[in-house]
Amino acid sequence: MSFDWFVLPFSIGALILIVVLISRYILWVIKLSRADRRKSWRSVFSFKLFQAVWEVFNESLLHRKIFRVNALLGWMHMTFALGWFLLIVIGSVESKFHKEKVFNMPYDPIFLRYFEHDVHGFWFAEGFTTIMDTILLLLLVATIMAVSKRFFKWIYGMKRTTKLHPGDQIALASLWLIFPMRFIAESFTAGIYGNGGYLTQTAGDIFATFLPLKSLELGAWWTYSSALCLFFLFLPFSRYMHIPTEVFLIYLRKAGVKTPDNKLTGFSEFETYSCSRCGLCIDQCQLSETTGYDDQAVYFLQKLRRNILQEESSHNCLLCGKCTNICPVGIDITKIRLLKRTEFAPEMLFNYRHYENVIHHDERKVDVAYFGGCMTHLTPKIKIAMTGIFRKLNIRYNFVDENGSICCGRPLKLAGNHMQARDLMQENKRIIIATGAKILVTSCPICYNIFKNEYKFDKIQVLHHSEYLNLLHKEGALKLTPNEEKMVYHDPCELGRMMNIYEPPREILEKSGKLIPVQKEKNFADCCGGSLANLPLSEDNRRKVSKEALTKLLAPSPDILVTACPLCKKTFSNVSDTPVKDIAEVVYERMIE
Amino acid sequence: MDTNKTVAVIGGGIAGMEAATFLSARGITVYLIEKEDKLGGHLLDWERLFPTMRNGSEVVKFLMDGVKADNIKIMLSSKLTAAEKSGKGYNLRINENVDLFADAVLVTTGYDLFDATKKEEYGYGIYDNVITSADLEKIFMSGKALQTKQGNVPKKIGLVHCVGSRDEKAGNVYCSKVCCVTGVKQAIEIKQKMPYTEVFNFYMDLRMYGMHFEALYKKAQADFGIQFIRGRLSEASEDQNGGIILKVEDTLMGKPLKLTVDILVLLIGLIPAKGSKEVGELFGLKNGVNGFYKTTDQHTLTNSSNVDGVFFAGACTSPKTITNTITDARAAASTVAAYLFNYRSLERKIEQNEDFWLYNTK
Ligand code: SF4
Ligand code: SF4
Ligand code: SF4
């Protein structure tokens, strides 16, 4: 058995790391719901395990998603992850060849060159050493990239990178040290015993010309081992926690575990700790762009990990979903934030007696129930357009909230008041079902979201008016005369990123006139700034967010700005000189009777 | 006592006219530059004035008498298109073809009226029977009877205060100062013409700060039976007969209120003029947080700008009543003269307080 005292730091560090990780993971698994726990056990013995392994390979090692968003960054992450992984795997195989036994000490592959001076034959000299040196070279390049990213982030097309706290800094510094130290230690040994590959041997021979390698060798290996130890000890308290955690996250996802709609579980712990702090979400956030505040996704998650999240931080967000959209790890940041709000929300008691006065008593049986939503009542042109279209096409409809309404419940949910929202929803659902309609059409994406996802109607199809109008047009009931006006379309967050409705509004607009594309579209569209989800945001900053989003939308100088949400319309109207219209208005203007 | 000094006054409303009058009295040659084909500005569109109910035309006539002086050159349908510093004064270009030199410039570009279509929830431009206070003045001026679009005598009329003022969402957080008392005045005028029509004013606060305003308000309640309801209109919709259904939160009674009126009048606020923006860009003038021109000091140097030789008068620096505008115009004339003749009074300095602490810009 090969041994030297310098292997101790590495071995102790690794041991502690394993104990910490295992105890944390056990804790989180306990926090899962029973059903989720069952799912996760069961999947160990199923095909899902292979799927998970495949995805771990793709994401945790190859980092495909980061690649897609930012190739340089992807390359860096890939060489680090895959490189290190191969270094360990191939190193283990190599050490087994040398030791000629299957079980050897865990540190053997790490410090092999120190203990094994004899490199003879193809497998050892030209084969393994060449492969191992190549991997080391890639890792050295990755280290240089990582260091340069800290100082020259613009190279990577990033405006901002993540800020570090002390745990991160130590882990980062030790990580930067690990591969250069391995290189130096192996080169020194190679310089003395000639057991290196093309890289380490060449370097070792050069070092030998001017350095007393014999007396420096042991020190170099100590440093290498200590850097590893330091990294392991600080890993659980740093961003690098994501490396082991993401593997489990991927597996749990494959097993079908999710964050439930009403409360956070151990699964969100796995998500939270899987954030690699790649920083891709930072430049997405319009709030941090305009207000310079630092509660965007990555810091929000960091505060969660360190257990220092304040109520204010949980609210300081538009819930626009842009960070979730870009996150390569696929963390549902918006959902975590929303549920965090619930934890802070006070139990409020409401008086619902005024319901009696608003309940709609319309005895006619109709085909379509139209629910404008409270925002639509503030933008009456939309409801005039919709009811106008119904009338002209002789559609039997019932304007459910014509004379006032019960709120759909989503604004309360966005504020974290789930219990109260549930009461509203029950009552509202009853009223809507009473209309006897088969289709529920709403003009408000906020209502649409909750109607579709949480009301769970059995017999009623829920449609946003953009979908409904597009359907009418496709069926031939609705005919349009397009005109020459140039239009741009703004994707509302709730309709786009939250509900994935991108094509219907575009299709019908293309039939109504000239739709010109904008730079940030679909899932990359900006938030209008009007979000109901951020109550602490000052009106001033809200306007700034709106104006910046507007400027980008108006870059192609359209005649009108079209959107499909009363709140977006209202928000943009307040800052725009170019007319802002809802898709329903555009269709109504241009329909042939 | 003619001097060889010239001043360009940009904007021929109340402020411009009165300032021109007082500058000319000091022997200064004045170019009074107005983009419309008439002097008088917004005052031309106002029938009677609060609080006395005097006809606006009488004030216009008074102002016109002032600008008849020989050394006032009135330039109508004229727009300033370029300005360039020349020595201590400015070379100005009017309408692309006229060039003139002025030793100093007095900016009197006034205000614009808030565009009520921006508050879509109130239905202006959507529902026939929603009009603005400015529209109502025009109807009064025309001498025609106030009717609904359907041709009926209105039985109920609502007036909404603070439309586009004191409204963060609309981007105007300030009080426009003149609309409260205009609302009271117009309510009384409606009652005078149609005693059997019920009139409701919906307000957040009533700002009866001027001399005799409070008396006008008392009269509105005691003698005319106008009902003042404290509460903000949240939305308006239309019923089958063209009536306007109002949803108001009555903040005194603490409960929501629903009311249908035949005509809804929106008391629109005053906003920074488009013209101010254009002129401001030519000279590099600074705006304050509310978008009106920023005066050098809040209390003392209220007619001076950040640019040497350029001064302000009237509602281009903040909403003002006619009385205040006339006073301000004379003060500005005096300030411009002090500048031209190097009075020591302009050398005084005062420490600047940032006014931003008042606003939540976080
Ligand atoms: S939340 Fe996602 S996008 Fe943001 S830093 Fe973490 S991993 Fe990257
Ligand atoms: S949801 Fe939007 S506002 Fe909130 S942190 Fe993410 S990008 Fe920023
Ligand atoms: S004067 Fe009255 S109506 Fe006008 S903005 Fe001020 S408070 Fe509102």
ipTM associated with this complex: 0.82
CA A152 to chain centre: 25
Give DSSP secondary structure letters for A405-454. Answer: ----SHHHHHTT-HHHHHHHHHHHHHHHHHTT-SEEEES-HHHHHHHHHT
Average pLDDT over residues B120-135: 96
Same fold, B6-110+273-360 and B116-269: yes
Among B118, B120, B234, beta carbon nearest to A380: B120
CA dist., res. A484 & res. B102, Å (int): 47
CA A71 to chain centre: 18
Task: Say if B118 is an interface residue toward chain A (CB within 8 Å).
Answer: yes
pLDDT in tens, A569-578: 999 999 999 9
Atom of ligand 3 nearest to the CA of B204: 7
Which of B167, B185, B207 maximizes ligand 3 atoms within 8 Å of its Cβ, making it the mutation to test the pocket?
B207
Task: Say if B239 is an interface residue toward chain A (CB within 8 Å).
Answer: no
Residue of B117, B168, B260 to mutate for A, most A C-beta atoms under 10 A:
B168
Among A380, A540, A573, beta carbon nearest to B118: A573
Show the CA angle centred on residue A218, arms to residues A133 and A177, nearest 5°.
55
**Nearest Cα residue to B161 out of B140, B178, B147, B148:** B178
Average pLDDT over residues A11-26: 94
Per-residue pLDDT at A491 exceeds 50: yes
pLDDT confidence tier of residue B257, bands split at 50, 70 and 90:
confident
Residue A163: per-residue pLDDT = 75
Give the minimum alpha-carbon distance from B169 to chain A in angstroms, rounded to a whole number.
7
Give me the residues of B, 161-190, that contact A with CB < 8 A: 168-171, 173
The protein residue whose alpha carbon is closest to atom 6 in ligand 3 is B175
pLDDT in tens, B57-84: 999 999 999 999 999 999 999 999 999 9
The protein residue whose alpha carbon is closest to atom 6 in ligand 2 is A323
Residue of B121, B130, B247 to mutate for A, most A C-beta atoms under 10 A:
B121
Which of A290, A309, A313, A322 maximizes ligand 2 atoms within 8 Å of its Cβ, making it the mutation to test the pocket?
A322
Average pLDDT over residues B355-361: 68
Sign of CA dihedral B150, B151, B157, B163: positive
Q: Is B252 exposed, middle or buried (0-12, 13-18, 19+ CB in 10 A)?
A: exposed
pLDDT confidence tier of residue A39, bands split at 50, 70 and 90:
confident
Per-residue pLDDT at A386 exceeds 70: yes
Closest ligand, as measured to the CA of A295: 2
Sign of CA dihedral B330, B332, B337, B343: positive
Give DSSP secondary structure letters for A353-399. Answer: TTHHHH-----S--SEEEE--HHHHTSHHHHHHHHHHHHHTT--EEE
Where in chain B are the domains?
A: 6-110+273-360, 116-269
Per-residue pLDDT at B100 exceeds 60: yes
Residue type present at position A73: L
Q: Are residues A109 and A95 in contact, defined by beta-carbon separation less than 8 angstroms? A: yes
Average pLDDT over residues B39-68: 96
A539/B361 touch (CB, cutoff 8 Å), yes or no: no
Residue A348: per-residue pLDDT = 60
CA dist., res. B180 & res. B214, Å (int): 11
B120/A378 touch (CB, cutoff 8 Å), yes or no: yes
pLDDT confidence tier of residue B207, bands split at 50, 70 and 90:
very high
Residue B351: per-residue pLDDT = 86
Searching chain B, which residue's CA lies closest to the CA of residue A571?
A: B169
Q: Are residues A390 and A468 in contact, defined by beta-carbon separation less than 8 angstroms? A: no
Among A379, A381, A538, beta carbon nearest to B360: A538
Q: Is B100 exposed, middle or buried (0-12, 13-18, 19+ CB in 10 A)?
A: middle
Which phi-psi region, left, alpha or beta, contains residue A229 (left: φ > 0; alpha: ψ -120 to 50)? alpha
CA dist., res. B286 & res. B280, Å (int): 7
Mean pLDDT of chain B: 94
3-state helix, strand, coil in chain A (%, to 5): 60, 5, 35
pLDDT in tens, A420-434: 888 889 888 988 998
Which of A293, A326, A327, A334 maximizes ligand 2 atoms within 8 Å of its Cβ, making it the mutation to test the pocket?
A334
Searching chain B, which residue's CA lies closest to the CA of residue A375?
A: B121
Q: With contacts defined as CB-CB under 8 Å, which chain A residues touch B238? A: 380
Cβ neighbours of residue A166 closer than 8 Å, sequence gap 6 or more = none
DSSP letter, residue B101: E
Q: With contacts defined as CB-CB under 8 Å, which chain B residues touch A378? A: 120-121, 234-235
Residue B35: per-residue pLDDT = 97
Token representation of residue B106: 């007095």
Q: What is the pTM of this model?
A: 0.83
Looking at A32-36, A351-355, B33-37, B191-195, which range is the least confident one? Answer: A351-355
For the domain covering A368-471, report its CATH number: 3.40.50
pLDDT confidence tier of residue A262, bands split at 50, 70 and 90:
confident
Q: With contacts defined as CB-CB under 8 Å, which chain B residues touch A573? A: 118, 120
Ligand 1 centroid, distance to A299 Cα (angstroms)? 9
- So what's the architecture of B116-269 in CATH? 3-Layer(bba) Sandwich (3.50)
Searching chain A, which residue's CA lies closest to the CA of residue B359?
A: A540
C-beta B185 within 6 A of ligand 3:
no
Token representation of residue B44: 């031309």
Average pLDDT over residues A558-567: 97
Give the minimum alpha-carbon distance from A514 to chain B in angstroms, rounded to a whole number.
25
pLDDT in tens, A529-549: 998 888 788 888 899 999 999
Domain A260-344 homologous superfamily, CATH: Alpha-helical ferredoxin (1.10.1060.10)
Can the peptide bond before residue B51 be classed as cis, meaning omega within 30 degrees of 0?
yes
A574/B171 touch (CB, cutoff 8 Å), yes or no: yes
User: Which H or E run includes B81?
Assistant: strand B80-86
B120/A570 touch (CB, cutoff 8 Å), yes or no: yes
One CATH from 1.10.630.10, 1.20.1050.10, 3.40.50.2300, 3.50.50.60 for B6-110+273-360: 3.50.50.60
B361/A404 touch (CB, cutoff 8 Å), yes or no: no
Which phi-psi region, left, alpha or beta, contains residue A279 (left: φ > 0; alpha: ψ -120 to 50)? left
Mean pLDDT of chain A: 88
pLDDT confidence tier of residue B362, bands split at 50, 70 and 90:
very low
Q: How many CB atoms lie within 10 A of CB B96?
A: 9
Residue A164: per-residue pLDDT = 77
Same fold, A260-344 and A479-590: no
C-beta B179 within 6 A of ligand 3:
yes
Average pLDDT over residues A481-497: 95
pLDDT in tens, A129-161: 888 899 999 999 999 998 888 888 777 777 777
A377/B235 touch (CB, cutoff 8 Å), yes or no: yes
CB pairs < 8 Å spanning A and B: 46
Task: Say if B361 is an interface residue toward chain A (CB within 8 Å).
Answer: yes
Strand order of the β-sheet with A514-515 is: A514-515, A486-489, A560-563, A580-582
User: Which H or E run includes B179?
Assistant: helix B179-193
Residue A352: per-residue pLDDT = 54
C-beta B26 within 6 A of ligand 3:
no
pLDDT in tens, A208-258: 999 999 999 999 999 999 999 999 999 998 888 998 999 999 999 999 998
Where in chain A are the domains?
A: 7-31+62-237, 260-344, 368-471, 479-590
Token representation of residue B32: 């009074």
Domain A479-590 class, CATH top level? alpha beta
Ligand 3 centroid, distance to B174 Cα (angstroms)? 9
Dmax of chain A from CA atoms? 99
